[in-house]
């Protein structure tokens, strides 16, 4: 059965969400701490979705909606933190999550969706309709 893609809910913090994210980067939060951050993120307009299969969270991704001054006040969707549980790779979960967020951005009237990815993932995103447009730059301000 294909996974259900839906918005993150509070019970997910005890049900595979943090283990799924940890496959992307260290998390280091208790479920209660993560729930507090979730509320702050929602207030800032960040949408976090999950993929659920057999009652467990096996994927997640987030969308930041940014209203611009340019393009007549149009909005841009930023996809962030696409992660799939280590036991669930290779089944199209990541693709389903990205497609879902692209659809959500379209519903919200965004004129584009952007994301940064490691160079080796460019072909993955090209298969989902994205094209390489520019370079992702970073500066580290402290060790994490």
Beta bridge partners of 7: 49
Candidates 18-26, 50-58, 89-97; binding stretch for a second copy (CB under 8 A): 18-26
Beta carbons of 110 and 76 less than 8 angstroms apart: yes
SS3 call for 4: strand
| Contacts for 61 with CB less than 8 Å, ≥ 6 apart | 48, 49, 79, 80, 81, 82, 83, 94, 97, 98, 100, 101
Q: Compare residues 1 and 32 and give the one whose CB is closer to a second copy.
A: 32
Q: Compare residues 1 and 44 and give the one whose CB is closer to a second copy.
A: 44
Q: Please report whether residue 19 would count as binding a second copy according to CB under 8 A.
A: no
Q: What residues from 22 to 81 belong to the interface with a second copy (CB under 8 A)?
A: 22, 24-29, 33-34, 37-38, 40-41, 44-46, 48, 64-74, 78, 80-81
Structure tokens at 10: 């509070």
SS3 call for 126: helix
> Rule CB under 8 A: which residues touch a second copy?
18, 21-22, 24-29, 33-34, 37-38, 40-41, 44-46, 48, 64-74, 78, 80-81, 102, 105-106, 110-119, 122, 125-126, 128-144
């Amino acid at each position: 059965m294909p996974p259900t893609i839906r918005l993150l809910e509070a019970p997910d913090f005890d049900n595979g969400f943090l283990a799924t994210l940890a496959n992307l980067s260290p998390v280091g939060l208790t479920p209660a701490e993560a729930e507090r951050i979730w509320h702050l993120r929602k207030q800032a307009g960040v949408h976090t979705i999950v993929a659920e299969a057999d009652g467990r969270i096996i994927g997640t991704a987030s969308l930041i909606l940014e209203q611009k001054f340019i393009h007549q006040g149009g909005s841009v969707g930023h996809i962030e933190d696409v992660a799939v549980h280590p036991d669930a790779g290779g089944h199209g979960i990541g693709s389903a999550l990205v497609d879902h967020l692209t659809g959500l951005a379209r519903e919200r009237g965004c004129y584009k969706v952007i994301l940064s990815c490691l160079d080796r993932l460019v072909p993955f995103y090209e298969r989902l309709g994205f094209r390489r447009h520019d370079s992702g730059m970073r500066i580290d301000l402290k060790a994490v």
